[in-house]
Amino acid sequence: MVLGSNFSAKLGDMNGEIPTSATGIGPSEIEIVTTSERPDLDDETRVALRSVWPEFIFHDLVAREHMDRVELYFRPYDVLLLDHGNVVAGGWGVPFAWDGSIAGLPDGFDGTLISSVSGHESGVEPNTLSVMAAAVRSDRHGEGLAGQVLAALRQRAASAGLRHTLAPVRPTLKSRYPLASMSEFAGWVRSDGLHLDPWIRTHQRLGASILAPAPRSMLITGTVAEWESWAEMVFPQSGRYVVPEALDLVEIDRESDLGTYEETNLWMQHT
């Protein structure tokens, strides 16, 4: 699996940008494999790709409850990109059934995990792939590798007969604007008509369009001490806090010894 064989290693942000001239087809030395084909790369993958994510992102309970089954059920949709045998990028997705409507979208990241796993176990025929995460090794950003990960997953979806490809996108720059709603952020475009955010632009350059915000896409809770450890900051009183790399505010309740973070993502659809 991308970033390893457990949740803290598998879950990833989606972060990167495909250069304007890139097509999603990489140079000949780039090899695409699945993590199930190359379990010997788990440790290298963890070292190469995990460090780019904030610690709190690995403490989503819904994801922890479902990730082992995701690893078991959906192996073809968990890919690594190798350059001369070395891990440089990776990504994973899950198939699920979608009726094609905005109202029929799952509740973001967590809802998609639940829908995909429960649908598989109930024998529901999937028609959609949701790209859940992509990661690029920190010294290989800007080379179009994130776009190649997306292209590889889209090709696998098409080969499996899945009609739609979606993604609950976690925009790279949204953490700089935690007071802005995702609806507001979704409308921030540059003079060339593309979005301000580089990860959204990567999807757009591959033909994707914005569908709608995905509220409560991830729910992460912990004690105040846990949140202080994850965020590497002190919460001296109850209230709402700006936390580094969080897209939304974190609610701290010292009386209840509880920190709560509800992250909104952005649904995008590839065509």
pLDDT tens-digit map of 21-68 = 333 444 448 999 998 899 999 889 888 887 778 999 999 999 999 999
- Provide the mean pLDDT of the chain: 90
pLDDT tier at 16 (50, 70, 90 boundaries)? very low
* pLDDT at residue 50, rounded to an integer: 75
Give dist(CA 137, CA 88) in Å, integer.
Answer: 5
Helices (runs of H) and strands (runs of E) counted in the chain: 8, 9
* pLDDT at residue 270, rounded to an integer: 96
* pLDDT at residue 18, rounded to an integer: 38
* pLDDT at residue 53, rounded to an integer: 84
Could you tell me if 120 and 36 are in contact, meaning their C-beta atoms sit under 8 angstroms apart? no
pLDDT tier at 20 (50, 70, 90 boundaries)? very low
* pLDDT at residue 85, rounded to an integer: 93
When pLDDT is averaged across residues 92-112 and rounded to a whole number, the result is 97
CB burial readout 202-218, b (16+ within 10 A) else e = bbbbbebebbebbeebb
Instruction: Give per-residue pLDDT as tens, 126-138.
Output: 999 999 999 999 8
Instruction: Give per-residue pLDDT as tens, 223-246.
Output: 999 999 999 999 999 999 999 999
Instruction: Give per-residue pLDDT as tens, 143-166.
Output: 999 999 999 999 999 999 999 999
Helix, strand, coil: what percent of the chain each, to 5?
35, 30, 35
Residue 269 buriedness (CB in 10 A; 0-12 / 13-18 / 19+): buried
* pLDDT at residue 195, rounded to an integer: 98
Q: Is residue 15's pLDDT more than 50? A: no
The residues with which 109 forms a beta bridge, in sequence order, are none
Give dist(CA 171, CA 152) in Å, integer.
Answer: 20
What share of the chain has pLDDT > 90, as a percent? Answer: 82
**Within the chain, where are the H helices?**
7-10, 42-49, 61-73, 108-122, 145-159, 182-186, 198-205, 224-231
Give dist(CA 212, CA 268) in Å, integer.
Answer: 7
Query: Three-state DSSP class for 268?
Result: strand
The set of residues, in sequence order, having a beta carbon less than 8 Å from that of 56 and lying 6+ positions away, is 220, 222, 227, 230, 231, 243, 246, 261
